Chains A and B, each alone.
Chain A
Amino acid sequence: MPKVKPHRTSPSLDMTPMVDLAFLLVTFFMLTTKFAPEEAVVVDTPSSTSEIRLPESHVITISVDKDKRVFFGMDDAKPKLDLLTRVGAKYGVSFSAAQAKTFSNLSSFGVPVQQLPDFLSRDNEQRKAIRQPGIPADSLNNQFIDWVVEAQAASRKEFGKPAYIAIKGDGNADVPTVKKVIQLLQDKNINRFNLITDLESKPVAGK
């Protein structure tokens, strides 16, 4: 009697459902991911215990870095084109269609409006290499407030409501610059500010 050999199944698993699952998840993440926009300036925000979240859309971000430079950013692409023509008209600077398109893709910028056409016609790599001087925001040459006012007007026209203004200051930024920004906005009757911060846990009572 020959021995009956047990039928050996190969130990390989069927991977197909695994692949299905994995690709399902992959496509989900690919479709839902919004890449963090490239910022013109790296700002390290201080932390606070506030738990109010920044709204998803219609946000104007004013960044102040540690070298006293002021940057302006807006997240909605459509009013941005409107904004660019408005501010350009005010200062007698005109922009080509290609420059305007580049501008609507920029998340934030910090150059005076006179240098903006040249800045926009460069390619991405060059633009990163340029050290942006920040937007002029003093009493003699106050382009910054024009950007904010025109952005609010463009946003109102587009969405029927003004955008949400957030101030993003670096932890090492100096107070006078931040206060100057606040005062400029107060001159335009904007009295409620939102300071972007990181979240830190609330202190526990009884400590």
Chain B
Amino acid sequence: MAEIQQQADSGKGGKKRAKKMSTKIDMTPMVDLAFLLLTFFMLTTTFSKPTVMQLNMPVKPKDNDDPSVIKASNAFTVLLGENNKIYYYDGLLDGTVKPELVASSYDANGIRKTLLQRRQANPEVVVLIKPVDKSNYKNMVDILDEMNITDQKKYALVDISKADEDLIKTSGL
């Protein structure tokens, strides 16, 4: 560390000569300070900007346009339930047909596998994503992310219908 300049004992009393002070300054504290500041700025600097996920919604149909109809054989519906639950069924839901609801999960062997299988079996598949009102935004982002991972050509965020909610209730999953 910094050494203290010793008062040089001139053993003999005698002529007092002006002592030559050394012009050397101890730089160690200066370096300490500099590196302290340096580390502070290095740690507070954010190098990474957040990423964004793009979501394209369909353009609102004009009043005289018919909404596009999906063939039941091409439809695959994913329901996002509350408490991070996720279900899916094939085909469409209407008054006569009751599709079988299957519970799934967000991990790699859950919905992702199913989505990949559906796409291999039928390249025309359209995925309808219906979040329940009590589901959270994280689930929505996760499932949209799965769409990107499994490279789905067509998918849409759709409002949930009463029938879908009843299906979840009655299935008891």
List the interface of chain A (C-beta within 8 A of B): 12, 14-16, 18-19, 22-23, 25-26, 29-30, 32-33, 35-36, 45-54, 56, 64, 166, 169-176, 178-179, 182, 186-187, 189, 191-199, 202-203, 207
Q: Which of A19, A32, A175, A192 contacts B31 (CB 8 A)?
A: A19
Q: What A residues does B157 contact at CB under 8 A?
A: 179
**B136 x A195 contact (CB < 8 A):** no
**B136 x A49 contact (CB < 8 A):** no
Taken together as a complex, chains A and B put the C-alpha atoms of A54 and B58 apart, in Å, by 23
Q: What A residues does B18 contact at CB under 8 A?
A: none
Q: Which of A26, A191, A197 contacts B37 (CB 8 A)?
A: A26
Taken together as a complex, chains A and B put the C-alpha atoms of A182 and B140 apart, in Å, by 13
* B2 to A: closest C-beta gap in Å: 9
**B52 x A194 contact (CB < 8 A):** yes
Tell me the nearest residue of chain B to A50, going by C-beta. B53
**B41 x A54 contact (CB < 8 A):** no
User: Given A29-B42, A49-B148, A49-B149, A175–B50 Cβ distance below 8 Å?
Assistant: no
* B110 to A: closest C-beta gap in Å: 12
Say which one of B8-16, B127-135, B163-171 lies at the interface with A: B127-135
B contacts with A, residue count (CB < 8 A): 49
Contact residues of B: prevailing secondary structure: mixed
**A174 x B134 contact (CB < 8 A):** yes
Q: Which of A26, A49, A169, A171 contacts B41 (CB 8 A)?
A: A26
* B62 to A: closest C-beta gap in Å: 12
Q: What B residues does A33 contact at CB under 8 A?
A: 41, 44-45
User: Given A15-B30, A19-B30, A54-B50, A174–B137 Cβ distance below 8 Å?
Assistant: yes
Contact residues of A: prevailing secondary structure: mixed
Taken together as a complex, chains A and B put the C-alpha atoms of A16 and B31 apart, in Å, by 9
Q: What B residues does A49 contact at CB under 8 A?
A: 145, 148-149
Taken together as a complex, chains A and B put the C-alpha atoms of A25 and B35 apart, in Å, by 9
Of listed B44, B51, B112, B148, residue having the most chain A CB within 10 A = B51
Q: What B residues does A182 contact at CB under 8 A?
A: 57
Q: What B residues does A198 contact at CB under 8 A?
A: 50-51
Q: What B residues does A195 contact at CB under 8 A?
A: 52-55, 141, 144
Taken together as a complex, chains A and B put the C-alpha atoms of A18 and B27 apart, in Å, by 9
Taken together as a complex, chains A and B put the C-alpha atoms of A140 and B113 apart, in Å, by 44
Taken together as a complex, chains A and B put the C-alpha atoms of A46 and B84 apart, in Å, by 13
**B108 x A171 contact (CB < 8 A):** no
Q: Which of B26, B52, B149 contacts A197 (CB 8 A)?
A: B52
User: Given A22-B34, A33-B41, A174-B134, A46–B142 Cβ distance below 8 Å?
Assistant: yes
Would you call B3 an interface residue if the criterion is a C-beta within 8 Å of the partner chain's C-beta atoms? yes
